[in-house]
Amino acid sequence: MRSILLSILALFLGICLLLLGNSLLSTLLILRGVDEGFSEQFLGFLTSSYFLGALIGSQLASNLIKRMGHIRCFTFSTAMLACSILAYVLVVHPTAWLIIRFLTGFGVFVMYTVIESWLNGQTPDEYRSRVFSIYTFVNLTAIAASQQLLHLDSATSFTLFGLAALLVTAAIMPVSWTRLQQPHVAVDMPKLNLKRLYRSAPVAVSGVVISGLVMGPFWGLTPLFVASLGYSESQLAGFITLSILGGAFIQYPVGRLSDRFDRRKVMMLTLVAAAGFAMAMGLVAWFIPGQRLIMTVLSMVFCGMVLAIYPISVAHLVDRIHKDHLVAGSSGLLMLYGLGSFIGPGLAGVGLQRLGGTALPWFYMLVLVGFAVVIIWQLSRSSIIERPEDHEAQYVSMIHTSPNVLPLHPESEDDIAAPEERRTEPREHSG
């Protein structure tokens, strides 16, 4: 295992530097946008523009890699991203920022695809589970650590934008220096009809849409929410870092419960509980905004529960779909998550324009409660019996990146059995 990790260390270092720069930029733009007087609605659309670029970038990346090769495509995307970061401070205008933000999302997710398809080609089957776990850990740790760079200077200065561009550009060095052999072609993700995907696992489809609708605003608009509470940039950095790290640990017990009980019911209860914590965050924001410790703890638990929804949905899909269709089905879930991430910030921004930044938790609550009702309705119509002792999959922590990470997922290996007839047994026969 050590030799495998040493061989792909350059790829991990490249994605770490990329995320440090890009995650710092995401927070900077919201803080700078507030300082420039941009409205909450515009900042919501700005985040949506990023996820639109990400969605299109992840769909076109494989063709770009085929034309350029992995290193040239990575270098091209890195240059696009670095230029975009510098352009934000050179052209401070709403229309320009929307276009630049689209290009930023496009470039980032092309870079994700390059790294992940390269990892697929370098990781032996027996090590995929451990490499996948390390990759997820690197992602979450880099996103959390990037917020601490806010301590270095103010968002109104050029320093942090320059640092973000420097970090992203530095990602080229380990990737271009590596002696790893490039895969001959990009990994093409098979497609699965969304109607068929919904028929196979309707709760999984609802779960990823919910996750996108909530996590899109969470990743993009949390700085706006925290700034509206009167927190300084240093306090904001600590809040976001602790929310992500704490949430990463808290999602594990939630996920493990889904391995021991009916995943659909665990997801429904998770949505209800997350809605309760979102409501608590909203009440604290309105009545005791100065209680930073209480707000941080609530955000950590809320983040952990919402982060768990996407991997629970993937595990549920594994239980319900033939292994030959797993990567295609998971790719469909990723696309639906991307659509949710695109729509969510724009909707949240419209609400925040009317009610202010402190209303963001109430948006979360409305989405979570609404989809909890949808899942209850789906369960009431289902004739499927889910027996936890027959689960084919185990919960595996993961975050949304590109479809090319899916072949690394431990459940994509060939030893997964096909779904059995017990999953279509009518309810009344269950005893």
Closest CA to 33 of 147, 161, 149: 161
Complete domains list, the chain, with CATH? 2-409 (1.20.1250.20)
Enumerate the H helices of 321-355 as residue ranges.
326-355
Quickly list DSSP for 172-237. Answer: HHHHHH--PPPPSSPPPPP---HHHHHHH-HHHHHHHHHHHHHHHHHHHHHHHHHHHTT--HHHHH
CA distance 264 to 393: 14
Closest CA to 130 of 3, 19, 315: 3
What is this structure's pTM? 0.84
Q: Can you read off the two tokens belonging to residue 388?
A: 């936890």
Mean pLDDT by 10 residues, the chain (431 residues): 65 87 93 91 93 86 80 87 93 94 90 77 64 79 91 89 94 77 56 74 85 90 90 89 86 78 83 93 89 92 88 77 64 82 91 88 93 83 61 61 56 46 38 32
pLDDT of residue 354: 87
- The per-residue b/e assignment along 178-212, b for 16 or more CB within 10 angstroms, e otherwise, is bebebbeebbebeebeeeebbebbbbbbbbbbbbb
The amino acid occupying position 126 is E
pLDDT of residue 419: 46
CA distance 290 to 393: 43
Closest CA to 267 of 297, 317, 310: 310
pLDDT of residue 190: 58
Q: Is 202 in contact with 329 (CB distance < 8 Å)?
A: no
DSSP 36: T
pLDDT of residue 183: 59
Q: Can you say how many angstroms the Cα of residue 48 is from the centroid of all Cα atoms in its chain?
A: 14
Q: Can you read off the two tokens belonging to residue 218?
A: 């969470």
- The per-residue b/e assignment along 276-315, b for 16 or more CB within 10 angstroms, e otherwise, is bbbbbbbebbeeeeeebeebbbbbbbbbbbbbbbbbbbbb
DSSP 72: H
